[in-house]
Amino acid sequence: MSNVEKLLQERLTAEHYERLRALDNAKMHEFVANAIELTNPESVFVCTDSPDDIAYIRDLAVKSGEERPLDIKGHTCHFDGYNDQARDKAQTKYLLSPGSELGESLNSIDKATGVQEVRSFLKDSMVGREMLVCFWCLGPVDSEFSIASIQITDSPYVAHSESILYRKGYEQFRKIGGSPNFFRFIHSEGELENFVSKNVDKRRVYIDLEEDMVYSVNTQYGGNTIGLKKLALRLAIQKASGEGWLAEHMFVMGVHGPKGRVTYFAGAFPSACGKTSTSMLPGQTIVGDDIAYFRKKEGRVRSVNVEKGIFGIIRDVNSKDDPVIHEALSNPGEVIFSNVLLDENSKPYWLGMGQELPKKGVNHSGEWIEGKKDGKGNAITASHKNARYCLNIPDLANCDPLLDDPQGVPVGAIVYGGRDSDIWVPVEQAYNWTEGIILKGASLESETTAATLGAEGVRTFNLMSNLDFLSIPLGRYIQNNLDFAAGIGNPPSVFSVNYFLRGRDGNYLNGMADKLVWMLWAELRVNGDVDAIATPTGLIPKYEDLAKLFRDNLKKEYSEVNYVEQFTIRVPGNLAKLDRVEKVYREKVADCPQILYDTYNEVRARLKAAAEKYGDCISPLDLA
Active-site amino acid positions: 273
Cα distance between residue 287 and residue 245, in whole Å: 19
Mapped onto helix, strand or coil, the DSSP state of residue 45 is: strand
Beta strands in 448-593 (DSSP E): 459-461, 493-497, 533-534, 539-540, 569-570
Nearest to 465, CA basis, from 540, 415, 409, 526: 415
CA proximity to 430, closest of 602, 549, 591: 602
Measured at the alpha carbon of residue 148, what is the angle toward residues 144 and 151, in degrees to the nearest 5? 160
DSSP reduced 3-state for 579: helix
Q: Strands of 445-507 (E only): list them.
A: 445-447, 459-461, 493-497
Tell me how far CA of residue 90 lies from CA of 86, 125, 228, 302, in angstroms. Answer: 11, 22, 20, 35
DSSP-derived 3-state class of residue 314: coil
Residues in the chain: 624
In what helix (H) or strand (E) does residue 251 lie, and over which residues does it extend? strand 251-256
Backbone angles phi, psi at 274, to 5 degrees: 105, 20
Torsion of CA 429, 431, 434, 440, to 10 degrees: -30
Q: Report the distance separating Cα 258 and Cα 179, nearest Å.
A: 46
d(CA 328, CA 309): 12
Closest CA to 424 of 288, 235, 273: 273
Would you say the C-alpha torsion 448, 454, 456, 460 has a positive or negative sign? negative
